[in-house]
């Protein structure tokens, strides 16, 4: 039986990237990187174009989709044979952290769009919370989820081997994202793990949620 809800894996990536791209296209100011001043942060989040709200909306949809996709990964892991329960536990934990982190990031960013405080320190604190929740914290959960997807896909043969291996390869950079908190160059681990992981989730969504693949000659 195909898992129609697995299409949430594709929605997770499309919504996140669409929100990010839409915000960049409409924004009159660059997205404030970690270390930006309170004035730069407020200028971005309160600009008349409301570009930030596109990104926030994309994050919220992506977070909800991640929660649903977690159920599909758990279901796949349950068919992985020996150690399936441990693999399911990893997927549940990863999905929960990924969903909570991205949702918290979106809600914190939303607070910045509505904040009328003139305190620059408050803007800096809120922006840092949004980054940590949606970057390193979300990344750890996403890494666990995608890693579980890759291993389950290999064991069940329900994902093409290159896709499963790419999922496994994208897990370590996601898990290393928190190193940014102690060494700024480690911030590159975040996109290096997230974008391949989103692509893999989208492919897995089609494989798990689409019609069964036709049998090859000889029943292989």
pLDDT of residue 1: 57
Task: Tell me the average pLDDT of the chain.
Answer: 91
Sign (positive or negative) of CA dihedral 23, 25, 30, 35:
positive
The rounded distance, in Å, linking the Cα atoms of 33 and 131 is 9
The rounded distance, in Å, linking the Cα atoms of 11 and 16 is 8
pLDDT of residue 211: 60
pLDDT of residue 216: 38
Kindly state the percentage of the chain with pLDDT values over 70. 94
- Of 115 and 98, which is predicted with more confidence? 98
Q: How far is CA 70 from the centre of its chain?
A: 11
Quickly tell me which residue has 């960013």 as its tokens.
109
């Amino acid at each position: 039986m195909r898992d129609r809800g697995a299409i949430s894996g594709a929605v997770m990536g499309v919504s996140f990237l669409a929100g990010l791209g839409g915000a960049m296209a409409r924004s009159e100011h660059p997205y404030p990187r970690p270390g930006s001043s309170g004035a730069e942060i407020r200028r971005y989040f309160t600009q008349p174009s409301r570009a930030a709200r596109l990104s926030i909306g994309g994050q919220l949809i992506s977070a909800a989709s991640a929660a649903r996709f977690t159920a599909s990964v758990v279901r796949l892991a349950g068919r992985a044979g020996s150690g399936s329960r441990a693999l399911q536990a990893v997927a549940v934990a990863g999905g929960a952290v990924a969903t909570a982190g991205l949702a918290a990031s979106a809600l914190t960013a939303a607070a910045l769009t509505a904040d009328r405080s003139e305190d620059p320190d408050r803007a800096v604190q809120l922006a840092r919370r949004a980054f940590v929740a949606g970057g390193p914290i979300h990344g750890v959960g996403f890494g666990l989820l995608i890693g579980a997807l890759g291993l389950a896909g290999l064991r069940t043969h329900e994902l093409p081997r290159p896709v499963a291996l790419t999922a496994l390869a994208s897990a370590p950079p996601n898990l290393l994202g928190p190193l940014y908190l102690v060494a700024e160059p480690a911030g590159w681990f975040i996109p290096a793990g997230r974008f391949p992981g989103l692509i893999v989730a989208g492919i897995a969504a089609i494989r798990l949620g689409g019609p069964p693949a036709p049998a090859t000659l000889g029943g292989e």
